[in-house]
Amino acid sequence: MTAEATPGAALGIRDLAPESVLVLAGGRAILLQLANPAVGHGVARHSDFAARPLQRLSGTLAYVYAVTCGTPDDRAAAVRRVSLAHRPVHSARTSGRQDTGDQPAGAPTYNAFDPELQLWVAATLYESATRMHDLIYGPLTDADAEAVYRDYGVLGTALQVPPGLWPADRAAFAAYWDSAVAALSTDDTTRSVARQLLHPASGPLWLRLAMPLARLVTTGLLQPRERALFDLPWSSRRRRAYAAVIGIVRLVYPRLPARVRQAPMRRSLRAGRAGLG
């Protein structure tokens, strides 16, 4: 339960999504997205987020905050921005051994408007956010967890995911998730994007100084097979360091005032509204 939740009151996405601590799970969500071959190759060809991680993170957060916590106008504006950015993002599968020079031979088809791929992206955001929330605040009750789950479907349905494609309940989602994770794979292309993301060569100094901690948390949140997909190192020493970091966050973060914990959400919504003017 989040710090300001009223005992007995049902929780929803507006209780969880504003919590800035959920951003700590963003790296995990991105790596899982990259491990879907179609998404990973689409990102490699069309996205500059590895070269501009802060701008891409800001764009993703702006969409999430607008759709989950904003007004109908905020949501509509965010959907328009994302749809416009997605319009040129598509590719066709190559065949045989020939490499076109533009796309490796046999690379998967990618279309940013593909509902199945958008479902996977939304699923990684939901699963990573709720995993981090549970780590810091403890598990939700079954009723609250189910309500939050239903609400999180809006991340996909606000775009091209038909409402019926979002699994009906958490049990259905778990089955979908296990099947999707089992099908994940990486190659030189997607692992290269992940390395650029986790080891940025540019950006402000503070970002590069923070990346060892970000890599530790991101790697710790992944399951062993998921780490192996990206050749991420793990050891007893790293496991202890990860546990210490989570323990400190669990001790400190919930005691911060809501205005501090939710400041990034309010700042993002203000920026989006200023852009409408």
Chain centroid to CA 180: 15
What is the domain count for the chain? 1
Domain holding 65, by residue range, is 13-276
* Residue 89 is assigned to a structural domain of this protein: yes
Average pLDDT over residues 253-277: 89
The number of C-alpha atoms within 13 Å of 61 and in the hemisphere containing its C-beta is 26
What local confidence, expressed as pLDDT, does residue 96 receive? Answer: 38
Q: Kindly state the average pLDDT of the residues 207-229.
A: 94
218: in domain: yes
pLDDT of residue 61: 87
Residue 224 included in any domain = yes
Q: 126: which DSSP letter? A: H
The verdict on residue 4 lying in a domain is no
Q: Which of 173, 144, 169, 142 is nearest to 2 (CA)?
A: 144
pLDDT computed for residue 55 by the predictor: 72
**pLDDT category, 183, cuts 50, 70, 90?**
very high
pLDDT value at 248 more than 90: yes
Query: Is 159 contained in some domain?
Result: yes
Q: Which residues of 136-160 are buried (b: 16+ CB within 10 A; e: fewer)?
A: bbeebeeebbebbbebbbbbbbbbb
Residue 209 lies in a domain: yes
Give the helix/strand (H/E) hosting 138: none
Q: What is the overall mean pLDDT for the chain?
A: 85
* Residue 200 neighbours by CB under 8 Å, 6+ apart: 50, 53, 207, 208, 211
Q: State the chain's maximal CA–CA distance in angstroms.
A: 62
Contact status, residue 94 vs residue 106, Cβ threshold 8 Å: yes
Is 5 inside a domain boundary? no
| Model confidence pLDDT, tens digit, residues 58-101 | 888 889 999 999 999 999 888 888 767 655 555 554 433 334 44
2 is a domain residue: no
Give 143 or 4, the one with higher predicted confidence. Answer: 143
Q: Dump pLDDT digits (tens) for 7-32.
A: 556 688 989 999 999 999 999 999 99
Residue that wins the pLDDT comparison between 198 and 59? 198
User: What pLDDT is recorded for position 185?
Assistant: 96
pLDDT confidence of residue 109: 66
Return the residue matching tokens 């701008």.
Answer: 55
As to burial, measured by CB atoms within 10 angstroms (0-12 exposed, 13-18 middle, 19+ buried), residue 188 is: exposed
Question: Which of 123, 137, 120, 156 has the alpha carbon at shortest distance from 21?
Answer: 137
